[in-house]
Structures are given as structure tokens and as C-alpha cells.
């Protein structure tokens, strides 16, 4: 495995951090995960500038040191030679770590046939500082582990009132009444870069998107349901599991093409 850390390219799976480093003690990092198209950071679908802005704004909000962005880009160029997905992690002291991974082996099947999602109820699965992509992702990670124990691929996070927020790795989309719906940012969720990209695409197509909160039971109204993130693009959800119910939704609804079209290459 090749990774880049603090200006150097390494081979292996380990880095050295002091035992009192805040990144280790508190998950004090911010990160972004991006999919590199055509092995090019400047490809319009890679959205490099948006990912850099996400990191920069978080570092400024936390009053942390920014890394040398020129070096970070050089590191990304090196790591992308081996991987299609990059994760860029910034530490409070100005250092950055870049790791890579490949697309899921069954991504085509996921995008075509959809997945099962499990609704993660309870305080255990809440994500702190939801507007930022920080290293403290324990709530979402626990939700994902629990979802897998229930035979699901993804978890759906909810707030204290049971309102749907997002999945453990992406943003939610629902189709009802000839319109797309996605939970609004005011509900307390991550402003996903893929989400913003899809919203911009739908606006260009003259489509309005309802960004109201998703109360419990709203999924009953949806003819199509999906989640998005920068890596998997758009994945339909064909089954929703909760402690007391099971709901099945058409994963091949024609409305989904409007979301997928946001990632078509010209």
C-alpha cells in the first residue's frame, strides 16, 4: 500500500504519531474523500477545488494550521497512480496524510440493483459536529457496523425526533410527487460535495429540490430512494429495515436517471 504523509511517499500501512497527539487521542482531524476521474485531479468530476475548500474552511473554523497545499497536491498526484479514491486527512499541526483505495468491486451491481439500508435509532449513532467531516466518526461507524449485523449495506442516521438525516457515508435522496427531496442542511448533516454537485446539476436542468426535514414515515411516500457520495456517485436503496418494519422500493425507478446524469462524462 502506498500513502503520502507530511511531504513523503511511503509504502506500508503504518505512520508514527506521538501518544499524546490530538489526532490519536480525540480524532482531531478533518478529512475529505474524493474519486479521481481519468487519473486527473483537474477533471471536472473529480471536484478537487471543492474538496480543498471543504478542508480549508474546516481548518479555519477550528483555528488549525493549514498544510502546504502545493505539497498536498503533489502527494495526491503520487498516490492516485495506484488508486481511484483518495482520502486526504489534515492534522491540527499542519501535517496531511493521503491514503487511497479502489472502488467497491460490486459497485456496478450496487448502482443497478440497489442496496438494503437499516435505520439507526438512538443516541449511540449520533455524529458530533455534523457539518464538518472530522476524524471523530465513531457514531456513523457504529451505525454501519450495526447495519451490517442486520444484513444491510448502509445505515440511515436520524436525529432525536426520528427525522432522517443522512446515511453513514452519504446524503439521502427521495422521489415523490414528481420532485426530488433531500434533507436540508439545517437539520444537522454533512453538506456532501456530491450532494452539492447533484443539486447544481438538477438546478441546471430546471428541476427544483425540496430540502425540508424528513419526518418519521416520510419514506412511505417515496417512489425511489437513493444515497450519494463522491466515491459511489448514486446508489439506490431498495429495502429499508427498522426494528419494526421492512419497506421495499423500486431501485430501477426512471427518476433515478436524473441523479445519475450529474456524473455523466461529456
pTM: predicted TM-score of the whole model, two decimal places:
0.95
Determine what percent of the chain is predicted with pLDDT higher than 90.
91
| pLDDT average, residue stretch 42-61 | 98
Determine what percent of the chain is predicted with pLDDT higher than 70.
100
pLDDT higher than threshold 90 for residue 244: no
Q: What pLDDT, on the 0 to 100 scale, is given for residue 216? A: 83
pLDDT band for position 152 (cuts 50, 70, 90): very high
First to last CA, the chain: 32
Q: What pLDDT, on the 0 to 100 scale, is given for residue 265? A: 81
CA 213 to chain centre: 19
| pLDDT average, residue stretch 13-38 | 96
Long-range (24+ apart) CB contacts under 8 A made by 180-183 are 180/207, 180/209, 180/210, 180/255, 180/258, 180/259, 181/209, 181/210, 181/211, 181/212, 181/214, 181/218, 181/222, 182/209, 182/210, 182/211, 183/211, 183/212, 183/213, 183/214
pLDDT in tens, 221-234: 999 999 999 999 99
Residues 6+ apart with CB under 8 A from 247: 219, 220, 239, 240
| pLDDT average, residue stretch 10-28 | 94
pLDDT band for position 266 (cuts 50, 70, 90): low
pLDDT in tens, 175-204: 999 999 999 988 789 999 999 999 999 999
Domains annotated for the chain, with CATH where assigned, are: 2-101 (3.30.470.10), 107-263 (3.20.10.10)
| pLDDT average, residue stretch 211-221 | 89
Q: What pLDDT, on the 0 to 100 scale, is given for residue 187? A: 76
pLDDT band for position 219 (cuts 50, 70, 90): confident
pLDDT in tens, 135-147: 999 999 999 999 9
| pLDDT average, residue stretch 43-60 | 98
The per-residue pLDDT of the chain, averaged, comes to 95
Residue ranges in the chain assigned as alpha helix (H): 22-26, 48-62, 69-79, 107-113, 138-149, 193-204, 256-260
pLDDT band for position 1 (cuts 50, 70, 90): confident
| pLDDT average, residue stretch 66-91 | 98
- Distance between CA atoms of residues 198 and 169, nearest Å: 16
| pLDDT average, residue stretch 94-114 | 97
| pLDDT average, residue stretch 99-126 | 96
Q: What pLDDT, on the 0 to 100 scale, is given for residue 127? A: 86
Amino acid at each position: 500500500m502506498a500513502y503520502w504523509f507530511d511531504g513523503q511517499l511511503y509504502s506500508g500501512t503504518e505512520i508514527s504519531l506521538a501518544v499524546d497527539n490530538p489526532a490519536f487521542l480525540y480524532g482531531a482531524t478533518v478529512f475529505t474523500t474524493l474519486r479521481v476521474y481519468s487519473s486527473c485531479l483537474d477533471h471536472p468530476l473529480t471536484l478537487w477545488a471543492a474538496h480543498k475548500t471543504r478542508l480549508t474552511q474546516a481548518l479555519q473554523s477550528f483555528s488549525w494550521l493549514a498544510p502546504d497545499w502545493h505539497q498536498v497536491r503533489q502527494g495526491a498526484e503520487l498516490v492516485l497512480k495506484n488508486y481511484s479514491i483518495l482520502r486526504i486527512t489534515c492534522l491540527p499541526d499542519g501535517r496531511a496524510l493521503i491514503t487511497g483505495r479502489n472502488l467497491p468491486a460490486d459497485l456496478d451491481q450496487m448502482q443497478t440493483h440497489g442496496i438494503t439500508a437499516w435505520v439507526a435509532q438512538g443516541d449511540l449513532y449520533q455524529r458530533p459536529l455534523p457539518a464538518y467531516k472530522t476524524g471523530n466518526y465513531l457514531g456513523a461507524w457504529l451505525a454501519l457496523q450495526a447495519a451490517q449485523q442486520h444484513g444491510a449495506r448502509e445505515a440511515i442516521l436520524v436525529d432525536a425526533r426520528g427525522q432522517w438525516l443522512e446515511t453513514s457515508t452519504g446524503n439521502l435522496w427521495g422521489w415523490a410527487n414528481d420532485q426530488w427531496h433531500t434533507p436540508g442542511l439545517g437539520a444537522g448533516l454533512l453538506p456532501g460535495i456530491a450532494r452539492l454537485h447533484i443539486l447544481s446539476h438538477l438546478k441546471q436542468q430546471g428541476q427544483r429540490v425540496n430540502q425540508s426535514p424528513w419526518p418519521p414515515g416520510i419514506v412511505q411516500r417515496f417512489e425511489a430512494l437513493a444515497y450519494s457520495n463522491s466515491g459511489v456517485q448514486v446508489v439506490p436503496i431498495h429495502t429499508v429495515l427498522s426494528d419494526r418494519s421492512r419497506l421495499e422500493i423500486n431501485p430501477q425507478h426512471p427518476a433515478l436517471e436524473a441523479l445519475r446524469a450529474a456524473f455523466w462524462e461529456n
